[in-house]
Amino acid sequence: MINPVSKVVPMYLGKVGFKFNKQFLRVYGYLIYMENGDVYLFDSGLNPLFYSDKEKIMENLTHFIEVDVNKDELLANRLKEYGIDKESIKAVIVSHLHFDHAGGISVFENTNVPLVVQKREYEEAKKLVGGRSFEYKSDDLNCLEERLNVSMVEGDSVVDGNEAIECLATYGHSAGHQSLLLKGKNKKMLLVGDAAYTRKQLDDGVISTIPFKKQEALSAIDRMQKMADECEYVICGHDCEAFEGKEILL
């Protein structure tokens, strides 16, 4: 079955940065509109506690991470801005469960909206949260385990049986990272996620500084480079400023 993607709208959801180099990365979520009117979401941004109770949520991040998000940039308010009822979203697909991509999943607490995540990512996140790893937040994982409708996938898979939305296993940056291939009537879009933070990193084959597994991350970026040649639009995990808030027609 193919129900084509009609358009994608990237939403700016704040920014995160490392204190040691003062380099901020912009955080995004993507509204995916289908030809039949269905709407999906890829990635969800930061936990709203980064705005309302920053001291609590920062925990072990305080010494080296900075987070900058205002009320309007929280996922719940972005959805309102675009007139989207959260319960009308067909599924939320998360590239991975790091705090700057999965923090907004709390918006979907106690709804029936499926959260699509790689099984491998979920299992590894549960092992790492609360330990030395700073990327996973206990608030996000507790929400995911207790109050969300989680749909686990393994490897490449299509969402809701629709070949126009394909999850691509791009493990390496995290244990179960996934990218997304979107197909419209006329064009394709590759949402790379953090397999490459920026288009320059993708083109140069540069992976993140501290990958979960370096060799897997290199294989993933190689796969993304090859697939990028077949897509009209290629958007990397933290490099979408030119498209923020704009409708990208497929």
Model pLDDT for residues 88-128, shown as the tens digit of each residue: 999 999 999 999 999 999 999 999 999 999 999 999 999 88
Token match 């999943």: residue?
105
- For residue 20, pLDDT over 90 is answered with no
Amino acid symbol at 53: D
- The full set of domains in the chain, from first to last, is 5-249 (3.60.15.10)
Q: Please provide the distance, in angstroms rounded to a whole number, between the alpha carbons at the two ends of the chain.
A: 18
User: Which pLDDT value is given to residue 129?
Assistant: 80
Average pLDDT, stretch 190-201? 98
Our CA angle for 39, 177, 158, nearest 5°, is 45
User: Which pLDDT value is given to residue 215?
Assistant: 97
User: Which pLDDT value is given to residue 54?
Assistant: 85
Strands 5-18, 23-34: pairing is: antiparallel
Percent of all residues in the chain with a pLDDT value above 90, rounded to a whole number: 82
Average pLDDT, the chain: 94
Percent of all residues in the chain with a pLDDT value above 70, rounded to a whole number: 98
* Top-confidence range, 58-67, 141-150, 173-182: 173-182
- Residue 15: name the closest of 71, 53, 66, 58 by CA: 66
- For residue 205, pLDDT over 90 is answered with yes
b/e per residue 107-143 (b: at least 16 CB within 10 A)? bbeeeebbbbbbebbbebbeebbeeebbbbbebbbeb
The pLDDT tens digits of the residues spanning 32-62 come to 999 999 999 999 999 999 999 988 888 767 6
Residue 23 banded pLDDT, cuts 50, 70, 90: confident
User: Which pLDDT value is given to residue 224?
Assistant: 99
C-beta neighbour count of 247 within 10 angstroms: 12
Between 19-33, 83-97, 162-176, 236-250, the lowest mean confidence (pLDDT) is in 19-33
User: Which pLDDT value is given to residue 130?
Assistant: 66
Whether pTM exceeds 0.85: yes
- For residue 12, pLDDT over 80 is answered with yes
Residue 131 banded pLDDT, cuts 50, 70, 90: low
Token match 């709208």: residue?
9
User: Which pLDDT value is given to residue 56?
Assistant: 82
User: Which pLDDT value is given to residue 220?
Assistant: 98
User: Which pLDDT value is given to residue 60?
Assistant: 67
- For residue 132, pLDDT over 70 is answered with no
